[in-house]
């Protein structure tokens, strides 16, 4: 077989192996979460290192205000998206372009029946329920959204329109304002690295432990219990694993 004949199956196999490896890694992590036993917060001080803990999210030093809803939150990941069209306006494909993103919030406490510890969310991967406010093109958004747009130069208002005879034509694009929040009192799952820290607990029921992403490859925070997290993680891994397996199969067929 000539070298040129091996090129296509070789590329298919290489891409397939890469995709399958990525998917398998996510599926393995999902299985680990599903089969793992969360550690009691009170025991985290005696077992520093990678831990998974579940409980209720509580404020550490205060709360933040979510930018679009105004809700009281411990951690709020926000995103502004705008509807765009590729190609001709009549036949092009619509997609959502991200205009701006941000994160509000700082350390919070995770509390179970045994104690509470500090969680430092910086650098985490967050699986939080998404809440979206859509503002149609040419529509004046609520006051809170208007104030946000005025304060962010990378997000332009889209509520302009012109009158062409008896017809009003909107000039802007549809926008979406997305929040993913961890609010006080919500269920919380954390997979991270536990460190002994004398400053992390000073009141009754608090342990001297802070959890962050230092010293660990994966740092995950979710607003659900471990089974929900495992299911979401598995969903992330299924598609690349299936595509990778399909490309490997195609590489074998082409090579024969």
Residues 92-102 have pLDDT tens digits of 688 899 999 99
Report, as an integer, the average pLDDT of 63-92: 86
Least-confidence region, from 83-92, 134-143, 220-229: 83-92
Higher pLDDT, 192 or 217: 192
Percent of the chain whose pLDDT exceeds 70:
80
**What secondary structure does DSSP assign to 47-100, as a single string?**
S-EEEEEEEEEEESS--EE-TTT--EESEEEEEEEEEEE-S-TTTPPEEEEEEE
CA distances from 189 to 33, 57, 82, 238 (A): 10, 9, 31, 22
Report, as an integer, the average pLDDT of 3-18: 69
């Amino acid at each position: 077989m000539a070298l040129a004949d091996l090129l296509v199956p070789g590329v298919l196999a290489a891409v397939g192996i890469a995709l399958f490896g990525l998917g398998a890694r996510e599926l393995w992590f999902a299985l680990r979460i599903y089969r793992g036993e969360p550690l009691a917060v009170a025991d985290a001080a005696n077992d520093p290192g990678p831990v998974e803990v579940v409980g209720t999210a509580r404020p550490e030093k205060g709360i933040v205000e979510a930018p679009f809803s105004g809700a009281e939150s411990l951690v709020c990941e926000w995103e502004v998206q705008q509807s765009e069209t590729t190609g001709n306006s009549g036949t092009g494909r619509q997609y959502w372009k991200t205009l701006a993103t941000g994160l509000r919030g700082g350390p919070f406490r995770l509390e179970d029946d045994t104690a509470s510890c500090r969680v430092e969310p910086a650098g985490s991967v967050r699986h939080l329920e998404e809440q979206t406010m859509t503002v149609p093109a040419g529509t004046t958004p609520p006051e809170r959204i208007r104030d946000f747009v005025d304060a962010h130069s990378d997000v332009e208002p889209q509520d302009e329109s012109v009158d062409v005879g008896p017809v009003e034509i909107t000039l802007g694009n549809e926008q979406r304002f997305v929040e993913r929040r961890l609010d006080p009192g919500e269920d919380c799952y954390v997979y991270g690295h536990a460190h002994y820290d004398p400053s992390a607990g000073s009141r009754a029921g608090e342990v001297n432990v802070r959890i962050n992403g230092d010293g660990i490859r994966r740092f995950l925070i979710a607003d659900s219990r471990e089974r929900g997290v495992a299911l979401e993680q598995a969903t992330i891994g299924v598609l690349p694993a299936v595509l990778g397996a399909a490309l490997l199969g195609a590489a074998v067929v082409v090579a024969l």
